[in-house]
Amino acid sequence: MCGIVGYVGPKKAEPILINGLLRLEYRGYDSAGIATMEKTGIKNVKNKGRVNDLLSMKEIESLEGTLGIAHTRWATHGKPSSINSHPHMDNSNSFAVVHNGIIENYAELKKELEDKGYKFLSETDTEVIPNYIHYFYKNSTETGETKFLSAVNKTCKLLKGSFALEILCNDFPNSMIVVRKDSPLVIGTSETENYVSSDIPAILSFTKNFYLLNDLEFAYLTRDAVTFYDNNLNKIEKSVTSIEWSAAAAEKDGYADFMLKEIYEQPRSIRETIGSHIVTNGTCQFDGLNLSKEYLKSINKIFIIACGTAMHAGLASKTVLEQICEISTEVDVASEFRYRTPLVNDKTLCIFISQSGETADTIAALKLAKQKGAKTIAISNVIGSSITREADYTVYTHAGPEIAVASTKAYTAQIMLLDILALYFAEILGINLDKVELMKKELLEIPAKTEKCLALANEVKEFANKVYKEKDIFFLGRGLDYSSSLEASLKLKEISYIHSDAYAAGELKHGPIALIENGITVVGLLTVPHLVEKTVSNLQEVISRGAKTLIVTNQDLGDKDFDKVIRIPEASEYVSPLLSIIPMQLFAYFISKEKGLDVDKPRNLAKSVTVE
Ligand code: M6R
């Protein structure tokens, strides 16, 4: 999705803005642009293509200003083109605006402006913003920065939808205004310069101190000050949030790709997630999560709501929550949940998972659950992200910045966190305490076992290199192996563009087996002891129809006709999803590499899906 960077300080803005844009590339985009404040006023340079294409434009060299805004665009309204790229300017070229989000009522606003004589150059929803700012500014009797702020505020009041905006005005050559609603934006600060970004990693090498804006709060930035206003333009105070992530954590650190680095970081990220919630005396701990025994006894359902991989993490933990806490648990896709009038009330606990904490559907689903009276917990990897500010309670995964579009270390950290949360609930409820202790012991062994799974990389690569040209690859599993199959299949399709589906193995005969033909590749996951025999029978059915099979297991399968068996460390079915997924992440990675694809930035995908 679109990325935003801004800078005001003593240094030349252009290299800082380009550096920030390059770090936001992973979010996905199709065009890029930059506007700086020059002695002659705002200078705007933009084009379709990559940030490096922008950098090679001649006009970039002439940008000397120390105040600027920049943008990577992920096309929504209008095709990728120079004219549709951001920044957008008003008709008089007095204001420059970059925008992340979608203005739902732009057609109506555009018509109103056209009636006032404004002309539009682009097909975007954004262009109404600089023009409306100009309209209010021109017709204002106010003076000074209040005039600028008030024109922006009046414009924001007209906008329906989501937006994170950076705005420059020729009359204020040393300042910029930023505002957000339902789209991410953070302000990095230091004594002599200030930064703006869609996310923290992009500006982590410049500062670790951030201001977090709530919806419809405005910030007026100069090089040595940031002043905050509410949506009535009353001044408000904000404190700085310091981020622990090191700048190096957002670098590739010698790995060929961020995805590979993040796969290999899993022993550490899982260890840190455990360390934060299982304290040295062995009890589970969630600071700030005030859920009493009476409350946990009173709830009749837990809902886990998320998108994509985060939703799969929910599926992997549903069984644990149900078996250990004895609370019925439903997992739903956020975009379905929000539109299907779910049965949620004050007896429902809703857990929302989002690595980025900025996923539009997950945030909307969270708002809906709150309206219906549910208690809400956010699980996120990003401190201060939108979801964490909406939920009643927040718990953080400690995965560190995840840059590759395909989520890996966030997934295993999410499962680990949910599993510990289940144990914590059971401890409060005082139930199944023997199972709790056994599982805790197993969870503590996971980081070392994860390392063993990573050591299987060469075996996985060998099989991946045999099948990378396939058109379809299917995944089969039962129980928790089915949830892991869904995630394995998502990983593969995301970064290899091979068509892939995951099936509950028992469903094979109800349709999917019709797809099995000679030479097709089928991957079987087998870690649930009481279901192994049944899945093996299903695999034999596909083998007898000519399928090549790759098996991931920690069970004794006897002497079978599988093409390749990857043996992962022994573990109970509850924790096996944390292990079986690792060879599957590597499988997707090696196939993508062998096909020569961009592993970290797969086509059409964005890291953070901030629009619906
Ligand atoms: O930031 P979130 O966890 O809310 O993101 C949810 C999905 O967009 C995300 O998991 C997506 O499916 C990944 N690309 C999967 O690898």
Q: Residue 497's closest CA among 469, 463, 457, 475?
A: 469
Task: Report helix, strand or coil for 123.
Answer: coil
List, in sequence order, every beta strand (DSSP E) within 489-576.
499-504, 521-526, 548-553, 564-567
DSSP-derived secondary structure for 296-357: HHH--EEEEEE-HHHHHHHHHHHHHHHHHH---EEEEEHHHHTTS-----TTEEEEEEESSS
Residue in the block written with tokens 């949360």: 421
Could you tell me the domains of the chain?
Answer: 3-246 (3.60.20.10), 252-453 (3.40.50.10490), 457-594 (3.40.50.10490)
- Whole-angstrom distance, CA of residue 336 vs CA of residue 345: 18
Structure token digits, residue 348:
């429902």
Q: Residue 498's closest CA among 592, 563, 584?
A: 592
* Low-confidence residues of the chain: pLDDT under 70: 1, 247-248
290 contacts 425 by C-beta, under 8 angstroms: no
Amino acid at 451: E
Ligand 1 environment, Cβ below 6 A: 307-310, 354-356, 359, 362, 405-407, 494, 605, 608-609
Å from CA of 235 to ligand 1 middle: 36
Å from CA of 200 to ligand 1 middle: 17
Burial 202-214 (b: 16+ CB within 10 A, else e): bbbbbbbebbbbe
Determine whether 2 is an active site residue: yes
Nearest CA to ligand 1 atom 16: 406
Nearest CA to ligand 1 atom 12: 308
Query: Can you say whether residue 24 is alpha, beta or left, with left for phi > 0 and alpha for psi between -120 and 50 degrees?
Result: alpha
Residue in the block written with tokens 């599957």: 584
- Whole-angstrom distance, CA of residue 9 vs CA of residue 12: 8
Determine whether 238 is an active site residue: no
Structure token digits, residue 117:
């004589």
Structure token digits, residue 375:
């208690």
For residue 245, give Cα distances in angstroms to 48, 113, 208, 242, 256.
32, 45, 8, 9, 21
- The predicted-structure confidence for 242-297, as pLDDT tens digits, reads as follows 887 776 677 787 889 999 999 999 999 999 899 888 877 788 999 889 899 999 99
Å from CA of 407 to ligand 1 middle: 6
Peptide bond into 577 cis (omega under 30): no
Residue 1, pLDDT score: 67
Residue 287, pLDDT score: 85
Question: Which residues on adjacent β-strands are paired with residue 332?
Answer: 305
